[in-house]
Amino acid sequence: MMEQKILPEAPVQIEMSNVDKRFGNNVTAVQGMSLQIREGEFVSFLGPSGCGKSTALKMISGLLSVSSGAISVNGHPAGQSIDGSDVGYVFQEATLMPWATVFDNVYLPLKLQGLSRKEAGPRVREALDMVGLAKFSASYPRQLSGGMKMRVSIARAMVTKPKLLLMDEPFAALDEMTRFKLNNDVLDLWKSQGLTVIFVTHSVFESVYLSSRVIVMAARPGRVVHDIPLPGGYPRTGEYRTTAEYAETCRLVSNALEGTMDNVDINH
């Protein structure tokens, strides 16, 4: 298998400059976040509940506006690309339409772009193929397992062929074996589609398995406290989970994360 390397000189795809997000209830969800992410990176946002991971991801996608500072994505201010199709977003829940087939759920973003079912057909089938669900096109969400629903959600995010895939704790609700399998599938997608991925997670183990770089965040106010490039090369398979390098990297990242919890009160 080919090794995937992220070249340090790859172009910057996402630039966050001194970004703050304040909500009306006097919560500073994100403070002073500055970050550059290059094409082809696999970056995890890791941190305790409430440290602003999801808020940061939503601002990068354009779902939320910044209170101050600036974010540029693929050369445009966040959320202002020409048709929005260059960013794919996967939520924690699969958020499928229960009354629609797998095909129609994946077709939705193309429908919103004005493509007919017939025109969209080959792209929907290609996206379902990518996640191994080609045979389930006519099924309904209620007929699928949790892992399969999440695959449909990933296919829906990939159907517009985005350059950037944003994933907000997508596998938190799944059992461990399913999560491991989907972790490998996401790595395969990342490599085969030449994606940049930002992956929000609570899990040190998941972030170290997947990422080329981990951004550790702390709460109150939400902010970046560590930016850790990871040593492990790719491809990573299940065996990587048993290596000394993986254990050592998990320890390093875990220590960085623990350092953010010093001031956490127990009311949280």
Ligand X SMILES: Nc1ncnc2c1ncn2[C@@H]1O[C@H](COP(=O)(O)OP(=O)(O)OP(=O)(O)O)[C@@H](O)[C@H]1O
Closest separation in Å from C-beta 224 to ligand X: 12
- The number of residues that bind ligand X (CB under 6 A) is 14
Closest separation in Å from C-beta 200 to ligand X: 6
| Residue closer to ligand X, measured from CB, 40 or 170 | 170
Pairwise CA distance, residues 176 & 241, whole Å:
13
Question: Residue 48: which of 251, 228, 220, 227 has the closest Cα?
Answer: 220
Closest separation in Å from C-beta 52 to ligand X: 4
Contact 100, 114 (CB under 8 A): no
Question: Residue 87: which of 145, 37, 122 has the closest Cα?
Answer: 37
β-pairing, 68-73 vs 76-77, is antiparallel
| Residue closer to ligand X, measured from CB, 29 or 87 | 29
Find the binding residues for ligand X in span 18-57 (CB under 6 A): 23, 25, 27, 29, 47, 49-55
Closest separation in Å from C-beta 12 to ligand X: 24
For CA atoms 216, 169, 7, 185, give the dihedral sign.
positive
Token readout for 268 is 């949280």
Residue window 194-213: x/- pattern of binding to ligand X, with contact defined by CB under 6 A = --------x-----------
Find the binding residues for ligand X in span 248-267 (CB under 6 A): none
Q: Which amino acid is at 21?
A: K
Q: Which residues bind ligand X (CB under 6 A)?
A: 23, 25, 27, 29, 47, 49-55, 202, 222
